Chains A and B, each alone.
Chain A
Amino acid sequence: MKTTDPTQIIRMTLHEVAPEADLDRLAPTADFRDALELDSLDFLRFVELLSERTGRRIDEYDYDQLATVSDAAAFLSAPF
């Protein structure tokens, strides 16, 4: 069961980083670092997993584009 839908991958990865968070209540336009109280280590883990799963290189200056689920999905869908 491999999904290529960016939103699905993002949500799956967030769930893994913060297993106790209620993702159903996370709005796609909410800053998930705030909403899920991710610290910098959690966020780094998120980036690491996301990069692994999508094969997409994610640099530090890309982090700003990963603030919300919908931003991150747009980032992953955009051409390299």
Chain B
Amino acid sequence: MAEFRMPSLGADMTDGVLLEWLVKPGAVVRKGDIVAVVDTDKAAIEVECFDGGTVQSLLVEPGTRVPVGAPLAVIDTRGPVLSPLVRREAVARHVELDAVHGTGPGGRVTRSDVDHAAGAGDVTEPVGQAAAAPTRRRTSPRARRLAKAAGVDLSAVPATGPGGVVRAADVVNAAHPSSAPEAAVMSAAESTAQPGTEQPATAPSRAQARIEETGAGEPSAAERTAQRALAMRATIAALMARSKREIPHYYLTETIDLTDTLDWLRGRNQTLPVPERIVPAALLLKATARAAREVPELNGFWLDDRFLPAPAVHLGVAISLRGGGLVAPAIADADTLDLTELMRALKDLVTRTRAGRLRGTELSSPTLTVSNLGEQGVESIIGVIYPPQVALVGFGTIAERPWAVRGLIGVRRLVTASLAADHRATDGATGARYLRALTRLLHEPEEL
């Protein structure tokens, strides 16, 4: 048994409101599946579970505010560990795996158990009920659960699955025809989600939630927006005050000549269609992440009076929201993505941040944050560290300035990079090493 608890979506979060369950008791979840939507002061966040198994019970009703760490659901982790082969076999033969008695080691469901359940007819309870109807449609187990929950008559649902199988999405469409495009949009957006996440089931309520958020005909929407803006201000205030109270910052800056780098980028973009072009910001982020790998002393957390290095570089990107406020979600493993992948991840992250559809791990995982205020046309930024991180990298705007190169003054395109670092964790020499690495990496863009 494992408890699924209210996650901490950043050091500033003390509690959150469970907005919506995306799973029901009995659902099989895998580690990393998105199981709930939690409303924090910043945004509605999709949260993943950290244990695989069967959802035993949901402990908290939607709309309840609960502190970080409070149990939200119980997940039975003993559940039969199924091989993909068994899973496929069960789907193909329409066997409800939850109801199959496992005879393998540790109660594992084996292929022959599935054969037995499908063939012998002595099937156990849930499948038995369905089998009692002789004309029953071929349906996926999830479609059956959904249909039951939504009160949809399965025999009336048009099937789109292979071989005329009624799929979960068909049930959703039948239950809420108008939400079908929404479901498609959501599942496209969640294409990285693992199979087994019950996305379609949640589309209708999400669609409603979105309507409320955007305020279409909803009188309380403006109030909600105003409240959220206030709450976000309070959150930023608390976090930044804590940072300045606890973290002895030191600051280093370096002016980097990007002229050749930007020429290289222009040449690269020249031959590419617009969607594949890369903005300079993506180069800056990539170099920031790679430099963090080279100087791991700046990539991690200050916890319990000591530095805890992070095993990977999850690069937090400060993104300003159009309505005001700031969120800094992470691009996971930013140092390992190539420029095209990083660009795609950045676009996706910005879009979802502004639409208020971030995932929990994105908010809780940054190991180092970068603030690129250059977009707003300022020359440099001296940042404030997000605790418990130990550094923040800032970039000002890229601008043409007079600059000496090999004894001659020329007009070059420059950026001021800055590092704010926690003096408890590192000293200036480490920070200097970081900025040197950053400069070198930005001067070798083809290696990024």
B interface secondary structure, majority: helix
B277 beta carbon closer than 8 Å to chain A: yes
Interface stretch of the complex, out of A8-16, A37-45, A66-74: A37-45
Known interface pairs A47-B274, A58-B274; A40-B266 also in contact (CB < 8 Å): no
Known interface pairs A18-B322, A20-B322, A59-B270; A44-B277 also in contact (CB < 8 Å): yes
Contacts of A51 in B (CB 8 A): 274
B219 beta carbon closer than 8 Å to chain A: no
Contact, CB under 8 Å: B376 / A37: yes
Contacts of B347 in A (CB 8 A): 41
| Partner of B279 from A37, A44, A59, A61 at Cβ < 8 Å | A44
Contact, CB under 8 Å: B270 / A60: yes
Interface string of B12-44 (1 = CB under 8 A from A): 000000000000000000000000000000000
Contact, CB under 8 Å: B275 / A60: no
CA distance A60 to B350 in the complex (A): 22
Contacts of A61 in B (CB 8 A): 266
B231 beta carbon closer than 8 Å to chain A: no
| Partner of A40 from B274, B281, B322 at Cβ < 8 Å | B281
Number of interface residues of A (CB under 8 A): 15
Contacts of B274 in A (CB 8 A): 44, 47-48, 51, 58
Known interface pairs A48-B274, A58-B274, A60-B277; A20-B323 also in contact (CB < 8 Å): yes
Residue among B266, B269, B274, B277 with the most chain A CB within 10 A? B274
Q: Kindly report which residue of chain B lies nearest to residue A61, judged by CB atoms.
A: B266
Contacts of B269 in A (CB 8 A): 60
Contacts of B275 in A (CB 8 A): 48
Contact, CB under 8 Å: B279 / A40: yes
CA distance A39 to B279 in the complex (A): 10
Contacts of A47 in B (CB 8 A): 274
| Partner of A41 from B279, B322, B323 at Cβ < 8 Å | B279
Task: List the 8 closest pairs (A to B, CB-CB), nearest first.
Answer: A48-B274, A40-B279, A39-B375, A60-B269, A51-B274, A20-B322, A47-B274, A41-B350
A-B contact pairs, 9 of them (CB 8 A): A37-B376, A39-B375, A41-B347, A48-B274, A48-B275, A51-B274, A60-B266, A60-B270, A61-B266
B interface residues with partner A (beta carbon < 8 Å): 266, 269-270, 274-275, 277, 279-281, 322-323, 346-347, 350, 375-377
Known: A20-B323, A37-B322, A60-B270. 15 other contacts (CB 8 A): A18-B322, A34-B377, A37-B376, A39-B281, A40-B280, A40-B375, A41-B279, A41-B346, A41-B347, A41-B350, A44-B274, A47-B274, A48-B274, A59-B270, A60-B269
